[in-house]
Amino acid sequence: MERKKVFINKVIPEAGLRLLEAAGLDYTMWREKPVLDREQAILFCKGHDAFLSAGQSGLDADFFEQCSHLKVVALHSVGFDGVDIAAATKHGVPIGNTPNVLNRATAETALLLMLTVARKALFLHKQIQKGAWGVSQPTQDLGIDIAGKTLGVVGLGRIGTELATMCAKSWNMKIIYHNRSRNEEAERELGAEWVSFDDLLGQSDIVSVHTALTEETRGMFDLKAFKKMKSSAIFVNTARGGVHDENDLIQALQEGVIWGAGLDVTNPEPMSSESPLLNMENAVVFPHIGSSTFETRNEMARCAAENIIAGLNGERLPYPVNPEVYGNDNINTPQ
């Protein structure tokens, strides 16, 4: 029988490659810089049975029209906001993602941002580089304690709950949250309290965003929202840059509407090196490193490979994004 072929658009950890090899699959992995554009990715996909996609842009309706032969598209991410899921389903292409395995690493990134902003750590580090480590004054360069403060989580799902657990258990923080649906387990285990979006803005000392980017959440943090926050509050976003309006955030920080901000996601990505956020005392920006640990990336590669193997065996993906595809007469079963 002819061996099935997988196209991988970036270099992924060995853990995933070994699984593909053990399953008797051949793969082509794009190892060059720059990364492939959409048209090149389509050409490669046309010669393969499955696509393992690490952050490929342009997975839109036309992509699935042209690549409707794919038996599976396995994302090397938990987020799938860049993928036209309805189009994939229409063409019978199962999409898989990597849920859960990056909860801890992403929550720790949010915590790192919270603490770095609260203690002005990055700004003070830059001061030393400038030779400005002067005589310490008792009232100079003071930060904010996070212990005992109120954390407002927008999107208390898997990652938000991981952060809320760390903050409640290690820092004795009060947890409030805003979701479309109630998280009863977090209410029971952490004493988390559901509040309206406006109440969350008004009561939180730190607001941390963990919601998916949807039409409903796009731009939900605009100047109007920042003005409802405490002037001593810190805004943290490790979810998607599109959830905040970056110009409004810059204005809010410049005018002291809020105290500080920590971003692991920006809008657009990559952020321009000219962004005023990079030179502000009260802002910290990371280049989308939420899942960037050896352990987490190995696990993500494993999930993605498991999705590929199941899809090519004609089985239900272990981590499906569009399970509705299985009710679809069009479903791409291997020949």
Taking the CA atoms of residue 162, residue 166, residue 168 and residue 173 in that order, the dihedral angle to the nearest 10 degrees is -110
The token pair at 175 is: 């947890």
Pick from 267, 291, 307, 332: which binds ligand DGY (CB under 6 A)? 291
> Could you check whether the bond before residue 268 is cis, i.e. omega within 30 degrees of 0?
yes
Residue 288 among the catalytic residues: yes
- Is the CB of residue 218 less than 8 Å from the CB of residue 239? no
109 binds ligand DGY (CB under 6 A): no
One character per residue 76-105, x = contact with ligand DGY (rule: CB under 6 A): -xxx----------------------x---
Q: Which is nearer to ligand DGY, 89 or 291 (CB)?
A: 291
The token pair at 177 is: 């949250």
What backbone torsions phi and psi does residue 106 show, to the nearest 5 degrees?
A: -70, -40
The one catalytic residue in 14, 21, 255, 269 is 269
Residue 299 among the catalytic residues: no
151: CB partners within 8 A, 6+ apart:
163, 164, 167, 168, 173, 174, 175, 176, 204, 205, 206, 208
Query: C-beta of 171: minimal distance to ligand DGY in Å?
Result: 24
The one catalytic residue in 76, 178, 288, 297 is 288
Q: Which is nearer to ligand DGY, 205 or 264 (CB)?
A: 264
Distance CA 155, CA 311 (A): 30
Pick from 290, 299, 309, 322: which binds ligand DGY (CB under 6 A)? 290
Query: C-beta of 58: minimal distance to ligand DGY in Å?
Result: 17
Beta-strand pair 26-29/72-75: unpaired
Nearest to 332, CA basis, from 68, 95, 83: 68
Q: Which is nearer to ligand DGY, 89 or 237 (CB)?
A: 237
Q: Which is nearer to ligand DGY, 53 or 150 (CB)?
A: 53
Residue 269 among the catalytic residues: yes
Query: C-beta of 109: minimal distance to ligand DGY in Å?
Result: 10
Query: C-beta of 166: minimal distance to ligand DGY in Å?
Result: 19
Q: How many CA atoms lie within 13 A of 265 on its CB side?
A: 21
Query: C-beta of 93: minimal distance to ligand DGY in Å?
Result: 19
Query: C-beta of 304: minimal distance to ligand DGY in Å?
Result: 11
Residues 146-175 that bind ligand DGY (CB under 6 A): none
The one catalytic residue in 48, 91, 210, 240 is 240
User: E-strand spans in 122-246?
Assistant: 150-154, 174-178, 193-194, 206-209, 234-237
CB burial of 139-170 (b: ≥16 within 10 Å; e: otherwise) equals eeeeebebeebbbbbbbbbbbbbbbbbbbbee
Q: Which is nearer to ligand DGY, 117 or 265 (CB)?
A: 265
Distance CA 332, CA 249 (A): 45
The token pair at 262 is: 């920590």
242 binds ligand DGY (CB under 6 A): no
Q: Which is nearer to ligand DGY, 233 or 305 (CB)?
A: 305
Residue nearest ligand DGY, CB atom distance:
79
Number of residues binding to ligand DGY, judged by CB under 6 A: 6
Query: C-beta of 172: minimal distance to ligand DGY in Å?
Result: 29
- Is the CB of residue 6 less than 8 Å from the CB of residue 20? yes
Residues 60-79 that bind ligand DGY (CB under 6 A): 77-79
One-letter identity of residue 252: A
Active-site residue list: 240, 269, 288
Give the binding site for ligand DGY (CB under 6 A).
Answer: 77-79, 102, 290-291
